[in-house]
């Protein structure tokens, strides 16, 4: 699987992940600040005491990226965590531990103490694995805590220049004329689900060919060996203006700032297939909520800097700022999406 959100834009924020407002009533006098701190320290588990007075881990923070160096998860994680380390004058060391679609590095983090000194940079593959891997030595939900989301990215549907259609309506008409004759290349499980839902929403049958990444499918597309390909925005951007491919649609719920003029599937009446991937930060399970909120706040502050925003946009991903409650809600939504896809037979379990 490659570096990989069915979400809706709502007032510039992520609609389904807006946290509800909660009011609180004070029914008893508040204890002193010193008493509160003393009580919290006495009740805290040993792992929670590995934090400084401001709530940030006192020891150096290690961030595992369970995928290869140079991919989207690696680059976005480094951009944000380098800025966090600079802000706090505390080291945040990013370590690549690839293998088994991220399971090797993830297992190490699942076993780590939930004190904030060990974190992990992830993408939707993490949640997909519970449905596609034959077995895992950890539970992707119960053994981890979502902390922050740095950026979102969309998939793009490309067509070969020689294809007998120029847009989505033309593609649908051609696919209905020749059911199953048109092949679409997918780069990973997520894009495979997007392609399947697109075909279902359009009422057509396509022939999926799974590739090991968007680069491979794009090469076949440009070489005349493939008609359609689902790739990331980053893969599609260098092809803008090319006479060798056509960019038909983007899977975001709103127009892409990187692909001006390219219609969204929602605009074409195919919003069922909308999907945006995410890059974010997780920790081991059972992290204290206050610690999660502190790390989330630092990641958001780093992500709001001009330098980090420019770096993320250079990777063709959209910077995003979600609080801890919004991040948790987004991950629940994503997990539910893959659970539905599995129930619909859209996910294949590996060996």
Which residue ranges form the domains of the chain, and what is each CATH number?
54-151+277-343 (3.40.190.150), 153-273 (3.40.190.10)
Average pLDDT over residues 25-32: 38
Output 313 or 234, whichever has higher pLDDT. Answer: 313
Pick from 205, 210, 206: which is nearest to 191 by CA?
A: 210
For the cut 60, the answer to whether the pLDDT of residue 30 exceeds it is: no
Place of tokens 């090991």: 212
Average pLDDT over residues 69-84: 93
For residue 234, what pLDDT is reported? 87
Pick from 147, 152, 184, 164: which is nearest to 298 by CA?
A: 147
Total residue length of the chain: 351
Average pLDDT over residues 234-262: 90
For residue 318, what pLDDT is reported? 95
Q: What angle do CA 234, 236, 241 make, to 5 degrees?
A: 130
For the cut 70, the answer to whether the pLDDT of residue 268 exceeds it is: yes
Average pLDDT over residues 290-300: 96
Average pLDDT over residues 226-250: 91
Average pLDDT over residues 85-94: 89
For residue range 168-186, what is the model confidence (pLDDT) as tens digits?
A: 999 999 999 999 999 999 9
For residue 350, what pLDDT is reported? 57
Could you give the CA distance from residue 211 to residue 205 in angstroms, rounded to a whole number? 19
For residue range 99-145, what is the model confidence (pLDDT) as tens digits?
A: 988 999 999 999 999 999 999 999 999 999 999 998 999 999 999 99
For residue range 187-216, what is the model confidence (pLDDT) as tens digits?
A: 888 899 999 999 999 999 999 998 878 888
For residue 19, what pLDDT is reported? 34
For residue range 142-151, what is the model confidence (pLDDT) as tens digits?
A: 999 999 999 9
For residue 54, what pLDDT is reported? 55
Mean pLDDT of the chain: 84
For residue 238, what pLDDT is reported? 87
For residue 60, what pLDDT is reported? 87
pTM: 0.79
Output 25 or 104, whichever has higher pLDDT. Answer: 104
For residue 57, what pLDDT is reported? 81
Average pLDDT over residues 294-315: 96
Tell me the percentage of the chain whose pLDDT exceeds 70.
83
Retrieve residue 216's tokens.
């491979």
For the cut 80, the answer to whether the pLDDT of residue 44 exceeds it is: no
Output 84 or 53, whichever has higher pLDDT. Answer: 84
């Amino acid at each position: 699987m490659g570096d990989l959100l069915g979400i809706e834009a709502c007032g510039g924020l992520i609609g389904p992940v807006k946290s509800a407002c909660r009011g609180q009533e004070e029914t008893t006098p508040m204890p002193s600040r010193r008493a509160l701190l003393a009580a919290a320290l006495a009740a805290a588990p040993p792992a929670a005491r590995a934090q400084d007075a401001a709530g940030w881990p006192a020891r150096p923070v290690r961030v595992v990226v369970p995928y290869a160096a140079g991919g989207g998860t690696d680059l976005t994680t480094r951009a944000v965590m380098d800025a966090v380390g600079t802000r706090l004058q505390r080291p945040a060391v990013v370590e690549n531990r690839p293998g088994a679609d991220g399971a090797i590095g993830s297992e190490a983090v699942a076993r780590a103490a939930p004190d904030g000194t060990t974190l992990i940079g992830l993408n939707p593959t993490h949640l997909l694995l519970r449905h596609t891997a034959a077995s895992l030595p950890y539970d992707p939900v119960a053994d981890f805590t979502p902390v922050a989301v740095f950026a979102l990215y969309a998939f793009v549907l490309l067509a070969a220049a020689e294809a007998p259609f120029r847009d989505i309506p033309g593609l649908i008409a051609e696919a209905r004329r020749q059911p199953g004759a048109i092949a679409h290349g997918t780069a990973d499980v997520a894009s495979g689900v997007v392609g399947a839902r697109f075909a279902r929403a359009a009422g057509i049958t396509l022939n999926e060919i799974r590739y090991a990444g968007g680069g491979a499918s794009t090469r076949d597309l440009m070489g005349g060996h493939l008609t359609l390909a689902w790739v990331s925005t980053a893969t599609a951007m260098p092809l803008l203006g090319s006479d060798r491919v056509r960019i038909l649609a983007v899977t975001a719920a709103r127009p892409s700032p990187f692909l001006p003029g390219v219609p969204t599937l929602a605009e074409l009446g195919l919003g069922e297939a909308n999907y945006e991937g995410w890059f974010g930060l997780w920790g081991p399970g059972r992290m204290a909520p206050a610690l999660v909120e502190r790390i989330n706040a630092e990641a958001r502050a780093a992500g709001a800097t001009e330098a980090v925003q420019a770096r993320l946009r250079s990777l063709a991903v959209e910077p995003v700022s979600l609080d801890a409650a919004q991040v948790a809600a987004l991950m629940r939504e994503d997990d539910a999406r893959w659970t539905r896809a599995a129930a619909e037979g859209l996910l294949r379990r590996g060996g």
